[in-house]
Amino acid sequence: MPDSLITVPPHLKVYLGVKPVDMRKSFDGLSAWIHDQLKQNPMAPVLFVFRNKRADRIKCLYWDRNGFALWYKRLEKGTFKWPRGGEQELCITSQELNLLLDGVDIGKLKRLPSLSFSNEF
């Protein structure tokens, strides 16, 4: 059985809602939250990720060509380690989302410095 049934393409933008959201919200409620609170287009090619107050549940909302898709996960033990920052949302990579879903605290990760190569060898 695979680790996770959700596969996020590497090029897809992922926005985390910084503040907790009422998990009773579904397609319409979350898309209204995206429009009103995040000032984003809910039909943009972006994956929007939300958590509840206890941080043991998340919902992901995505516009998929002709309708919204919603993915929901509840942890039986522990909490998701939600990064801090941003006012309403925080943009992360799909790799960081996968780590978050696996229980890794992505706020504590440190990236190696990127190398820049010049044409001079």
Q: For residue 59, tell me if it sits in a domain.
A: yes
Strands 46-51 and 13-17: parallel
Among 108, 106, 48, 103, which Cα is nearest to 79's? Answer: 103
What is the percent of the chain with per-residue pLDDT over 70, rounded to a whole number?
A: 86
Q: What is the pLDDT of residues 21-42, one digit of tens each?
A: 999 999 999 999 999 988 999 9
Q: What is the pLDDT of residues 73-109, one digit of tens each?
A: 999 999 998 887 666 778 888 888 888 888 888 877 7
Q: For residue 6, tell me if it sits in a domain.
A: no
Q: For residue 8, tell me if it sits in a domain.
A: no
Provide the pLDDT for residue 1. 38
Q: For residue 4, tell me if it sits in a domain.
A: no
Q: For residue 34, tell me if it sits in a domain.
A: yes
pTM (2 decimals)?
Answer: 0.81
Q: For residue 104, tell me if it sits in a domain.
A: yes
Q: Say yes or no to pLDDT of 116 above 70.
A: no
Q: Which domain holds residue 31?
A: 13-108
Provide the pLDDT for residue 8. 79
Q: For residue 115, tell me if it sits in a domain.
A: no
What is the percent of the chain with per-residue pLDDT over 90, rounded to a whole number?
A: 46
Q: For residue 2, tell me if it sits in a domain.
A: no
Residue 107 and residue 82: Cα distance in Å, rounded?
7
Q: What's the domain count of the chain?
A: 1
Q: Count CA within 13 A, CB hemisphere, residue 46.
A: 21
